[in-house]
Amino acid sequence: MAQSHQASGIQAGRLPAEDIATNFEDLHAPFDAHEAAVAADRCYFCYDAPCMQACPTSIDIPQFIREIQGGHPTAAAKTILDQNILGGMCARVCPTETLCEEVCVREAAEGKPVEIGRLQRYATDALMEKGAQPFTRTDATGKTVAVVGAGPAGLAAAHRLAMLGHDVVLFEAKPKAGGLNEFGIAAYKSTNDFAAREVDWLLQIGGITVEYGKKLGDALTLDGLSQDYDAVFLSIGLGGVNALRTSGEDVAGVADAVDFIAELRQSADLTSLPVGRNIVVIGGGMTAVDAAVQSKLLGAENVTIAYRRGRDAMGASRYEQDLAASKGVKLMFNVMPKAIHGDSAACEIELEYTEIVDGRVTGTGETLRLSADQVYKAIGQTLEGQPSALDLEGGKIKVDEAGRTSVAGVWAGGDCASGGEDLTVTAVAEGRDAAMDIHASLMG
């Protein structure tokens, strides 16, 4: 939901259109054929491939890089997409610096890994430019599966199930598919409407019907879905946002960072998007960095990320932290919000310094104030609207390694499910693996 922009100091058009266009260009320019060949030549093609072991979707990285080296990028893309059908988006948003590239032998030897993410993008872009995908449906099984939520996990599950011959109905609450890929990732990581184009490409497999405006709740119940379909896969994400629990949280200018990012991603004209002069983002994850950096790119003068623990505890990688700093964002550590000041609109935020006592964040009593006409909350999201019949674990739907929930015939994956990290690539792996278990279950 868009926030009110009546607060003092919040206005649109802080920068000329040409400056904003430049600011929101691709974070990493795509390789051309020569650059890809040079990058591929750096790979040692390790037999034990630590990069492959670090990839949540277990892409055969040495194989696809060898195919690029041999001048066959579309074959490389097939190798990638066999394991990760959203390999194009993952190449853009995956924190490769803490996954495959972190364990690259070149990184250990030289401090400069093979640029696996950019090579993956080069290959998948080459295939997608040809239009058709390399996958076809097998013979129809006569089985139907309901997939609730068209984010990365739901899309991956739907594609794999359709490929295996099942008919899939994909229910999505929003008017567009893609989940966080479409609504929750910084615009400079997914340019030229790539998320939507990837969804269109994925749906070419056939056998998938998408119904928009359908949210799990009164009209769409787990009992009803279980009766109407042979299996159900839930990938409903995390729709709620944690509260700051401080005074002044409800004044104008205070908003959820995920809403701001979604509003920005869906905006047809970024010069029309209001932005404050002084912005404080509360949190330490990727959402906090995305909100802070994009505020700066829109023309905010002073942007601060305030995080309650030390730098090493931040959910955002050191690369993302350095990216924020390079764009002029100030990072403050060991501070937590105490109060937001302003009669009807935010004008200052009061922060309290913290220390860690017995593993817990504790206030020291010492405070400071920062000017803030916008405050964005990026302190984690919560599950909402889950069926009461399902067991929970850590505030998420409890699942086993195959994605099975406590209710027979119901699987879950992605951010709403217990287990792995809240990453696009992890969600894809969970959707794919649940689909394979659903298939095995349906086929006896």
**Model confidence pLDDT, tens digit, residues 319-368:** 999 999 999 999 999 999 999 999 999 999 999 999 999 999 999 999 99
**Who's near 159: CB < 8 A, 6+ residues apart?**
85, 135, 202, 205, 208
Which of 377, 412, 429 is the last residue in one of the domains?
Answer: 377
**H-run or E-run covering 335:** strand 335-341
The token pair at 354 is: 């913290």
For residue 19, is it within any domain? Answer: no
Give the count of domains, the chain.
3
Give the start-end residues of each E strand in 156-195. Answer: 167-172
- Statement to judge: residues 262 and 204 lie in one domain: no
- Statement to judge: residues 253 and 339 lie in one domain: yes
pLDDT more than 70, % of the chain: 98
pLDDT on residue 6: 44
pLDDT on residue 241: 85
pLDDT on residue 8: 58
For residue 364, is it within any domain? Answer: yes
For residue 397, is it within any domain? Answer: yes
**CATH classification at residue 217:** 3.50.50.60
Q: Which domain holds residue 176?
A: 144-239+383-442
Question: What per-residue string of b and e applies to 278-310 under the rule 16 or more CB within 10 Å gives b?
Answer: bbbbbbbbbbbbbbbbbbbbbbbebbbbbbbbe
Residue pair 135/204 in contact (Cβ under 8 Å)? The answer is no
d(CA 43, CA 40): 6
Which parts of the chain sit beneath pLDDT 50? Answer: 1-7
pLDDT on residue 131: 85
- Statement to judge: residues 225 and 249 lie in one domain: no
Residue pair 363/352 in contact (Cβ under 8 Å)? The answer is yes
For residue 25, is it within any domain? Answer: no
For residue 15, is it within any domain? Answer: no
Residue pair 255/7 in contact (Cβ under 8 Å)? The answer is no
Work out the angle between the directed axes of helices 116-128 and 61-69 (0-180°, nearest 10). 70
Residue type, 145: V
- Statement to judge: residues 263 and 212 lie in one domain: no
- Statement to judge: residues 116 and 174 lie in one domain: no
For residue 1, is it within any domain? Answer: no
* Cβ-based neighbour number of residue 337 at 10 Å: 22
- Statement to judge: residues 70 and 113 lie in one domain: yes
SS3 of 189-201: the string is HCCCCHHHHHHHH
- Statement to judge: residues 322 and 332 lie in one domain: yes
**CATH classification at residue 57:** 1.10.1060.10
- Statement to judge: residues 228 and 246 lie in one domain: no
pLDDT on residue 304: 98
pLDDT on residue 190: 94
Which of 360, 377, 394 is the last residue in one of the domains?
Answer: 377
Q: Which residue has the tokens 């072991």?
A: 53
- Statement to judge: residues 285 and 373 lie in one domain: yes
